[in-house]
Amino acid sequence: MTIFKKYLLLTFFVAFLNLLIILFFFVPRLNATDSAQYISTILHLSGDHSETLYPFRVINPLPVLIGAILSPFMSASATLILQNIFFYFGSVLVIFLLINSVYKNEKQAFYGAILFSTAYPVMAYGLSPLTDFSGWFFYILCIYLTVRFFKKPILRKSFLIGLLGGIGMLFKENLAALPIFFFVFVFVCANFSLRNKVRHICVFLLAFFLPVITSEVMIYHFFSYSMIQWYLNVSLTHGNSFIYAYSPLRIVIEIARVFSFGWIFFLAGLIREIRTKDKNRTKILISLILPSLSFFLWAFPHNRIAFISAPLIILLGSFGFIELFKNNKYSRYIEITLLFFYIFINYFLVEFLLKYGDALRIYFK
């Protein structure tokens, strides 16, 4: 068995154990407001008109449509969880492939995939009856394909990446960050003429907006509602001081929860990258900065919204993780200890906030 396959199998094994813990210990106790709206919309679409259809839950139609199709066989909640299980394993795979593609290090890819799958937003929200995981999956997948495809760029690859991103938008709106990444990546990383760069971007945008506009027209026809209306309604009606519904302190807390103890690894990776001066990696990482900050365009910069920054955070975090003690003869034991501590911290945070989160929320609005 190759080293690649060995680490990939180990990654899936650890991810599977984590999945079981989340599903059995946390998911049944999580009660996100969005979940009730998704469930009600799925039930309405499946024929139970005593349930409310929320128009802003059908602007990304695929999760609720898949839920309605599966609803004769399982509960509406289970249909969303089942989709998230699929996207959970898909995301673990593509984040592993992305890290290995950028750093050429299977061990780092293993640690990065585990840091991703045990991050707080994944534990607290990823496998709940929500739709965030689909967005994370398509976003990471398109980043990976962009990094791989542009070693030998041809227009149909840009079209494919754009189309996958557009399909991802039918699952979750956070794929709106993808065009930002693609635009910056093409101009920073691609080694061809300005004319060809513009052609690739135009082909990408055409493919990206094709499913999005088609869906928007249909949704507006049937429900008289659009994604633009939804964004403006939320942004304009929930703003507080400055443009956010959260206080500055709450925003800092939400960002901290994205990677918790792992921010130490991120900082170590950032410092190491600056010292290493690998131009190709630096260009890829630079391409991820603006889309990673796109959650600030949302009135609620919650940690599960901010997790769109996961590719950048995990790339640097996994690099810092293996670099911290790589020259220590006990490095393997230190790495395993740190990994367990990181996982424990996130389990603890989820458990603590399940018990006391509602009581604490009044102090951190």
With beta carbons less than 8 A apart as the criterion, state whether 319 and 233 touch.
Answer: no
Residue 268: domain span: 3-130+227-361
Q: Which residue has the higher pLDDT, 336 or 331?
A: 336
Lowest mean pLDDT among 59-68, 157-166, 287-296, 327-336: 327-336
Q: What average pLDDT does this structure show over 143-148?
A: 96
Cα–Cα distance measured from residue 186 to residue 196, given in angstroms and rounded to the nearest whole number: 10
**pLDDT digit string (tens) for 291-322?**
999 998 887 788 999 999 999 999 999 999 99
With beta carbons less than 8 A apart as the criterion, state whether 144 and 181 touch.
Answer: no
Q: Is 144 exposed, middle or buried (0-12, 13-18, 19+ CB in 10 A)?
A: buried
Lowest mean pLDDT among 60-64, 152-156, 200-204: 152-156
pLDDT exceeds cutoff 80 at 361: no
Task: Please give the pLDDT value at position 325.
Answer: 85
pTM: 0.95
Q: How confident is the model at residue 249 (pLDDT cuts 50, 70, 90)?
A: confident
Strand, helix or coil at 115? helix
With beta carbons less than 8 A apart as the criterion, state whether 60 and 171 touch.
Answer: yes
In a domain, 144, yes or no: no
pLDDT exceeds cutoff 90 at 239: no
Alpha helices in the chain (DSSP H): 3-21, 33-45, 61-70, 76-103, 106-117, 120-121, 132-149, 155-169, 178-189, 194-223, 227-237, 248-259, 263-276, 279-292, 303-306, 310-323, 331-361
With beta carbons less than 8 A apart as the criterion, state whether 12 and 109 touch.
Answer: no
In a domain, 304, yes or no: yes
Task: Please give the pLDDT value at position 58.
Answer: 95
Q: What average pLDDT does this structure show over 8-29?
A: 95
pLDDT exceeds cutoff 90 at 186: yes
Q: What average pLDDT does this structure show over 4-9?
A: 97
Q: Which residue has the higher pLDDT, 232 or 345?
A: 345
In a domain, 303, yes or no: yes
C-alpha distance from residue 160 to each of 5, 89, 151, 164 (Å): 27, 22, 15, 6
In a domain, 30, yes or no: yes
Q: How confident is the model at residue 243 (pLDDT cuts 50, 70, 90)?
A: low
DSSP letter for 129, please. Answer: S
Cα–Cα distance measured from residue 138 to residue 167, given in angstroms and rounded to the nearest whole number: 8
**pLDDT digit string (tens) for 20-41?**
999 999 988 877 779 999 999 9
Task: Please give the pLDDT value at position 300.
Answer: 79
Domain count, the chain: 1
Question: For residue 121, which amino acid is it?
Answer: P
Residue for token digits 């008289």?
224
In a domain, 215, yes or no: no
Cα–Cα distance measured from residue 43 to residue 58, given in angstroms and rounded to the nearest whole number: 13
Tokens representing residue 148 in the block = 């791989």
**pLDDT digit string (tens) for 251-292?**
899 999 999 999 999 999 999 999 998 999 999 999 999 999
Of 133, 131, 114, residue with least CA distance to 15:
114
In a domain, 139, yes or no: no
Mean pLDDT of the chain: 92
In a domain, 237, yes or no: yes
In a domain, 203, yes or no: no
Tokens representing residue 333 in the block = 């034991």
